[in-house]
């Protein structure tokens, strides 16, 4: 495996940053895998190259043609899937199953947007709704249309999904016809770098339409202009810095933020512990706590269980957590790997001590000895389950996201009103879930929670066999959430294209508007 300094792909060529660069590690063993530096790279030139070379080339293509390129990208990833999975295991501390979740998620998202491109067809603009008659006579109408913005889409990604995070943003932007500059999180950027090497070698995309900045962002975001779009995934404090950059504040750079979220799962009072729905709930909570060592923006952090069931649920979950083997993802039998970095480990441990002030520890393994790891190495944290007293205030549980293998049981009185009150203390989330067969309970809880969430998952025995659970983000459904979650919205099928396009109301004579739209294939 390479230990070289990884280059950025900017201005249509590979460019090396100055200095030694930052180390990219294997978080299970702390072995240095490669280095990355962006020092000395000139961001404004790279952005201008994308705007002037990539933009026109992409806009010359129709949605269908761009969809074909997205499909070729998916096929390229599929062809190199095994290599990408290995890199994701090495640089992300992912188990094979976690790594597949990332790589296969990327492929599936690309395929979904390729299909959307094919369905839209040979058009370059989108018509939004029907023409509206504006005057007394039908010949004066207003028609909304969407055209591609003339800037560049800068994508700043989080460390936890190096492939999916990159692909879910890039697929939408490229299909919309805007060039992309991706900045992966430095610590886990080996996968993004290899993906770009493959893409550049395969020459799928026109020159200037894809760029990669390895290493720190530097002044990248400060250089954005009014037609540019910035899509960010990461922590709320970084989001707040980005929202206050001159492009966003003064020049109208569009920004979309996917940030923290205290996702909740609610068990309905109708669910008996020997039912299929209870089992489904238990499995989903267990999976969200341990998959990717809990480093999933959509993972369940607060588990609302009716008081009468909380003891039984606590014991069932604790038993299952105790059986999870933690260690080096390459070791046979390991089900949960390490956290991605030493600083994530420190932040998670700090967060856990904060949560512990609100309640008591139900499951944790002090002195955890991860399997297959040199003594003292790796950024491992034990799966940790906490519980608060019924009716406790628990301020940290409802306001502090611990981005690791942890969750807190919050007993409640079994009413929809209290479930809504407790979950909405999270102040806006990506996804929450309700597991119940009682439709009036589901309906009241769902309607109460909807304004606080981008997605709600209704779990019941009827869908248990079919469902990937609330933690899986799907390309056809919106991803994002209000308030704490950043107020952003991504994906959602064709809806996602609108972020990279300008909606314009065209007012005029119907025959003229119709002729223009026909000419554009719209």
Hey, which residues are catalytic here? Answer: 258, 297
**CA R_g for the chain:** 24
- Closer residue to ligand NAP, CB minimum distance, 157 or 432: 157
Least distance between ligand NAP and beta carbon 140 (Å): 44
Report the alpha-carbon angle 184-38-241, nearest 5.
Answer: 60
Least Å from the CB of residue 43 to ligand NAP? 11
SS3 412: strand
- Rounded-to-integer distance, Cα 471 and Cα 219, Å: 33
Cβ atoms < 10 Å from Cβ of 410: 28
Is residue 213 within 8 A of residue 183, CB to CB? The reply is yes
Nearest Cα neighbor of 368 from 325, 339, 314 is 325
Q: Write down the least CB distance from residue 429 to ligand NAP, Å.
A: 10
Beta carbon nearer to ligand NAP, 208 or 488 = 488
Of 89, 120, 39, 8, residue with least CA distance to 494: 120
Tokens of 327: 């260690």
Please state whether 228 falls in left (phi above 0), alpha (psi between -120 and 50) or beta.
Answer: beta
CB of 497 to ligand NAP, least distance (A): 19
Residue number of the CB atom closest to ligand NAP: 234
- Tell me the closest approach of the beta carbon of residue 277 to ligand NAP, in angstroms: 27
DSSP state string for 279-324: HHHHHHHHHHHHGGGG--TT---EEEEEHHHHHHHHHHHHHHHHT-
Residues that bind ligand NAP (CB under 6 A): 156-160, 183, 185-187, 216-217, 221, 233-235, 238, 241-242, 258-261, 297, 401, 403, 430
**CB-nearer residue toward ligand NAP: 231 or 285:** 231
Q: Output the DSSP codes for 446-477.
A: HHHHGGGEEEEEEE-GGGTTT---TT---TTS
Q: Which residues make Cβ contacts (< 8 Å) with residue 477, sequence separation at least 6? A: 455, 491, 492, 493
Q: Do residues 478 and 495 touch, judged by C-beta distance below 8 A? A: yes
Q: How far is the CB of 25 from ligand NAP (least distance, A)?
A: 13
Q: Which of 9/403 has CB closer to ligand NAP? A: 403
Q: Considering the complex, state which of residue 98 and residue 401 has its C-beta at the smaller distance from ligand NAP.
A: 401
Name the residue nearer to ligand NAP (CB basis): 37 or 460. Answer: 37
């Amino acid at each position: 495996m390479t230990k070289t300094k990884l280059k950025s792909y900017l201005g249509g060529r590979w460019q090396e940053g100055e200095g030694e660069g930052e180390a990219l590690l294997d978080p299970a063993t702390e072995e240095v895998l490669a280095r990355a530096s962006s020092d000395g790279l000139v961001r404004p030139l790279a952005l201008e190259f994308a705007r002037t070379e990539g933009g026109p080339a992409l806009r010359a293509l129709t949605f269908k043609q761009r969809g074909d390129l997205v499909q070729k990208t998916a096929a390229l990833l599929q062809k190199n899937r095994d290599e990408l999975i290995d890199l994701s295991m090495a640089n992300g501390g992912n188990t094979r199953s976690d790594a597949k979740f990332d790589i296969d998620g990327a492929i599936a998202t690309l395929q979904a947007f390729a299909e959307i491109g094919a369905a839209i067809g040979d058009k370059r603009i989108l018509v939004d709704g029907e023409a509206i008659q504006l005057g007394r006579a039908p010949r004066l109408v207003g028609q909304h249309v969407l055209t591609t913005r003339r800037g560049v889409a800068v994508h700043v990604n989080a460390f936890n999904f190096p492939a999916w995070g990159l692909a879910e943003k890039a697929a939408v932007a490229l299909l919309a016809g805007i060039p992309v500059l991706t900045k992966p999180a430095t610590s886990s950027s080996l996968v993004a770098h290899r993906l770009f090497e493959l893409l550049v070698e395969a020459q799928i995309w026109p020159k200037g339409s894809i760029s990669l900045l390895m290493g720190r962002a530097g002044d990248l975001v400060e250089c954005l202009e009014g037609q540019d779009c910035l899509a960010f995934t990461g922590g709320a404090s970084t989001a707040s810095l980005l929202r206050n950059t001159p492009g966003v504040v003064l020049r109208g750079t569009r920004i979309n933020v996917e940030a923290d979220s205290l996702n909740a799962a609610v068990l309905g009072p109708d669910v008996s512990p020997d039912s299929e729905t209870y089992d489904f709930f238990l499995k989903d909570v267990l999976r969200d706590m341990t998959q990717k060592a809990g480093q999933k923006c959509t993972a369940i952090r607060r588990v609302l269980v009716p008081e009468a069931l909380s003891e039984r649920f606590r014991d069932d979950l604790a038993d299952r957590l105790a059986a999870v083997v933690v260690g080096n993802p390459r070791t046979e039998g390991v089900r949960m790997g390490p956290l991605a970095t030493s600083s994530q480990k420190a932040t998670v441990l700090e967060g856990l001590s904060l949560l512990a002030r609100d309640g008591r520890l139900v499951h944790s393994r002090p002195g955890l000895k991860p399997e297959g790891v040199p003594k003292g190495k790796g950024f491992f944290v034990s799966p940790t389950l906490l519980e608060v007293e019924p009716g406790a205030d628990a301020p940290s549980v409802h306001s502090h996201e611990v981005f690791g293998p942890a969750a807190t049981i919050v007993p409640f009185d079994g009413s929809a009103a209290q479930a809504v009150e407790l979950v909405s203390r999270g102040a806006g989330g990506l996804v929450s879930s309700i597991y119940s067969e009682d439709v009036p309970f589901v309906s009241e809880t769902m309607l109460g929670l909807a304004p606080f969430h981008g997605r709600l998952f209704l779990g019941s025995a009827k869908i248990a066999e079919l469902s990937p659970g609330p933690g899986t983000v799907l390309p056809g459904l919106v991803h994002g959430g209000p308030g704490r979650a950043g107020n952003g919205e991504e994906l959602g099928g064709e809806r996602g294209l609108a972020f990279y396009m300008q909606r314009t109301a065209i007012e005029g004579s119907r025959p003229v508007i119709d002729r223009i739209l026909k000419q554009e294939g719209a």
